[in-house]
A = this chain, B = another copy of it.
Amino acid sequence: MLSGGDDGVPDGVPDGIGMARLAWTRLPTADAEGAGPSTSAAAAGDELFSAAAVESLDYEVIENYAYREEQAQRSKFWVPYYVMLKWLFSLLIGVGTGLAAIFINLAVENFSGWKYTATFAIIKHSYFVGFFVYTVFNLALVFSSVYIVTNYAPAAAGSGIPEIKGYLNGVDTHGILLFRTLVGKIFGSIGSVGGGLALGKEGPLVHTGACIASLLGQGGSAKYHLSSRWVRIFESDRDRRDLVTCGCAAGVAAAFRAPVGGVLFALEEVTSWWRSHLMWRVFFTSAVVAVVVRSAMNWCNSGKCGHFGAGGFIIWDISGGQEDYSYQELFPMAIIGVIGGLLGALFNQLTLYITKWRRTYLHKKGKRVQIFEACLISLVTSTISFVLPLLRKCSPCPQLGANSSIECPHPPGTDGNFVNFYCSKDKEYNDLATIFFNTQDDAIRNLFSAKTFHEYSAQSLITFLVMFYSLAVVTFGTAVPAGQFVPGIMIGSTYGRLVGMFVVKYYKKLNIEEGTYALLGAASFLGGSMRMTVSLCVIMVEITNNLKLLPLIMLVLLVSKAVGDFFNEGLYEEQARLRGIPLLDSRPKQVMRNMNAKDACKNQKVICLPRVSRVIDIVSVLRTNKHNGFPVVDCGQNGESLVIGLILRSHLLVLLQAKVDFQNSPFPCGPGVLNRHNFSDFVKPASSKGKSIDDIHLTEDELGLYLDLAPFLNPSPYIVPEDMSLVKVYNLFRQLGLRHIFVVPRPSRVVGLITRKDLLLEEDGNTVMAELQSTSVRGLLNGRLLGGNAHLERPLLDNLVIE
């Protein structure tokens, strides 16, 4: 589902558009200065030269662009405006994501509440009718979800995290950040989670946050008529990615009520684009989410939200649990880590196979198959979760202390342990129903609960583990929004509690809580499957609100991740690879050690465009290959060829479609060309496939004309010498988030050497500023002396090239 192109990446704005932009904005000044066409051309050359120097990482340019556009006076307000808007958007992302999370939770809890209240009411009379109602309720919800997704928002299926991860790594997947995806995600996950499938709402919330962020960022697209000033500000790729990073963090913060965890999640997934001032903004967004969610929870505590009470949100306060641990316990905890690693790796492998099979055989057959599949899984899930507890014998209630807050059996219609389900006596409970015939949030709370020794039998836990694990594997990959956090926690806490039971039995210590082991189990499974480290640890601490278990969670995560890494990659990486999202690892591959830059592109034929190209040549170049960027060459002062920059396919397409720049002469154009374009023409349309060469129709006459590419190219893409190690190139590529690197022959001379000292300009800022001004004057003079007066006929960009 990538939008085509040789490198899997449609059009790299970070490499791209700077020069063009700056050129337009600067040239009016040049025009005003120029005394005649030729002089003005020379001056324009200098202007371009300076403009080229300004070209930089994209978001820097954007500031510069507008900074220059509105001249001196207005520019004073622009930067503060831009900064303010960035923060305002961060605020809005936080509020929006928080509200979306509240809405989803509210809906899910209420649907589940009605479902269980009705079922429990009916089974007093007939278990069969109860089963029927329960199943139909689930089926209806799941059907609504899968119908919405398959028909309106196919990109909303799954958790969305691999796609978002890909987006932040630099790969756009079609449709993941559309408005319809947002809507599909929200309503779809209400259906799928409310319908009792073995999946969670947390992954989708991350995607939801990202969608909200992206939509805010492009606010002002054709559909929403916002002011054009707004559009301009966030049209750079980097700004958008920054916003999506904020949205991603906001999603995690909202899903788990874990603001710090959200920041760290975004950080762990996006290290390649990370900057410390972005961290600060992400942090702010997360804090806003925390405040919004908390306010809503407080409002709901007064009972205005139906079944959504204090227990609705994913947060399992285990403050009553174990505060301490002995060194003996570290061994069973390590065992939990190992189990988590093994089961997590197995989960990744199984889901990979099943998803592959689904994609190859099942989902090709159309929407109906997908809908049928989801409904079938819903039926199976309902049946298992209803029938299995029926087969289980009830246990008598334990003797609880008088001042214990736990009731056995707990009153129907409320949350809690000790569910009375198909029991012959009143003072009995069904341990399998307590975890199986319940919402997942409640089940987890029950598994984590302290002071409930021996509530569950080993048999029930094993039954549940096997069944739920299988359901989770099968459910993964159906066409509904689905997160893997909550199922993972369910699975992990089951075997964790099992281990805890053995520990309680054999170590015979009173201060050991099975619930603590359940928590560690949950951490271990997530670690073994998703392979996140610090962020997962913080999220676990934040959702359980217990800092004292931090070292234990760290230990378990270390073990489970190490074990899992032995077998395969993390869940998101596996899924991303399966979906054809080419993520770049943080570490270069071993094989790159023995390669150099030239080896990496040895099978390529580099297609260069001359500075002034014939339209027909450009069209044929675009038709005959799928490259997304083309080097542009020109003749230097002494007739030798010189690489003057990189032009992107997408920009060429814009130029071909606009046609206004076509010219009759094969000589470089004057500066007038530059204000024929609106900057926004070149902005990549958000979340669409972009143009294709086949959509552009040119007449015979037009094909015979010429096009001067100089004003539209990126004049200084990064270059590497051909014999540089590929590992070095890889680091350059990934650390700077590039799209294209030119591999060039070894240079013949060194003009200068830049060291740390040369980059420390702030130490005598004023001096540098003064020097700089004189430099630019000198540069102008030099330019004129060297190339200007003597070579009036020479191409416009010669100064740029030769200087």
Contacts and interface: CB of A to CB of B under 8 A. Distances in A.
Contact of A586 (B53, B276, B733, B765): B276
A752 B744 CA distance: 7
Contacts of A561: 280
A800 B571 CA distance: 42
Given A593-B54, A594-B50, A751 B745 contact: yes
A720 B723 contact: no
A606 interface: yes
B602 A752 contact: yes
Given A641-B749, A745-B751, A759-B584, A56 B268 contact: no
Interface string A60-89: 100010000000000000000000000000
A657 B734 CA distance: 40
Contacts of A756: 7-9, 170-171, 582, 584, 733, 739
B726 A606 contact: no
A732 B277 CA distance: 18
A31 interface: no
Nearest to A608: B750
Contacts of A263: 534
Contacts of A604: 752-753, 758
A488 interface: no
A752 B283 contact: no
A597 B7 contact: no
Contacts of A55: 725, 728
A376 interface: no
Interface in A692-735: 715-716, 718-735
Interface in A238-280: 259-260, 263-264, 267-268, 271, 274-277, 279-280
Task: Quickly give the copy total for this chain.
Answer: 2
A548 B547 CA distance: 11
Interface size, A (range): 35 or more
Interface string A513-553: 00000000000000000000110011001100101101100
Given A627-B753, A750-B643, A534 B260 contact: yes
A643 B748 contact: yes
A444 interface: no
Question: Which residue among A263, A600, A642 has the maximum number of chain B CB atoms within 10 Å of its CB?
Answer: A600
A271 B268 contact: no
A755 interface: yes
Given A280-B533, A550-B259, A733 B754 contact: yes
A23 to B, nearest CB: 14
A736 interface: yes
A466 interface: no
Contacts of A582: 756-757, 760, 763
B64 A593 contact: yes
A30 to B, nearest CB: 15
Which of A589, A597, A755 neighbours the largest number of chain B CB atoms within 10 Å of its CB?
A755
A694 to B, nearest CB: 22
Contact of A746 (B275, B593, B644, B728): B644
A631 interface: yes
Interface stretch (A192-200, A224-232, A767-775): A767-775
Contacts of A716: 720-721, 723-725, 728
A596 B759 contact: no
A103 interface: no
Contacts of A656: none
B800 A752 contact: no
B551 A722 contact: no
B60 A749 contact: no
Nearest to A548: B545
Interface in A743-798: 743-763, 765, 768-769, 772, 775-776
A661 interface: no
A501 B763 CA distance: 44
Given A7-B758, A53-B723, A755-B9, A732 B747 contact: no
B593 A60 contact: yes
Contacts of A577: 763
A460 B538 CA distance: 39
Nearest to A799: B723
A624 B745 CA distance: 32
Contacts of A674: none
A50 to B, nearest CB: 7
A616 interface: no
A275 B730 CA distance: 14
A626 B188 CA distance: 66
A52 interface: yes
B755 A740 contact: yes
Contact of A753 (B593, B732, B740): B740
Contacts of A290: 550-551, 554
B719 A294 contact: no
A102 interface: no
A741 interface: yes
B731 A732 contact: no
A587 interface: yes
A758 B260 contact: no
Contact of A772 (B56, B60, B599): B599
Nearest to A327: B295
A742 interface: yes
A726 to B, nearest CB: 7
A284 interface: yes
A656 B415 CA distance: 79
B52 A751 contact: no
Contacts of A54: 593-594, 725, 727
A324 to B, nearest CB: 8
Nearest to A276: B586
A555 interface: yes
Contacts of A213: none
A83 B246 CA distance: 35
Contacts of A599: 53, 772, 775
Interface string A388-409: 0000000000000000000000
A149 interface: no
B171 A752 contact: no
A596 B8 contact: no
A598 interface: yes
B742 A591 contact: no
A757 B7 contact: yes
A629 interface: yes
A142 interface: no
Nearest to A600: B758
B587 A754 contact: no
Given A591-B761, A600-B759, A756-B170, A725 B545 contact: no
Contacts of A628: 755
27 contacts: A7-B755, A7-B756, A50-B594, A53-B595, A53-B596, A53-B599, A53-B725, A54-B725, A56-B593, A57-B728, A259-B551, A264-B264, A268-B276, A271-B275, A279-B533, A280-B561, A538-B538, A582-B756, A591-B768, A595-B772, A601-B753, A601-B754, A642-B748, A718-B732, A726-B759, A729-B759, A742-B747
Would you list the 4 A-B pairs with minimal beta carbon distance, nearest first?
A: A601-B752, A7-B755, A53-B596, A56-B727
Given A628-B755, A716-B721, 19 more contacts: A52-B723, A54-B594, A56-B593, A56-B725, A171-B756, A267-B267, A275-B586, A280-B561, A284-B558, A294-B551, A582-B763, A589-B761, A602-B775, A627-B753, A715-B723, A720-B754, A732-B736, A735-B736, A742-B747
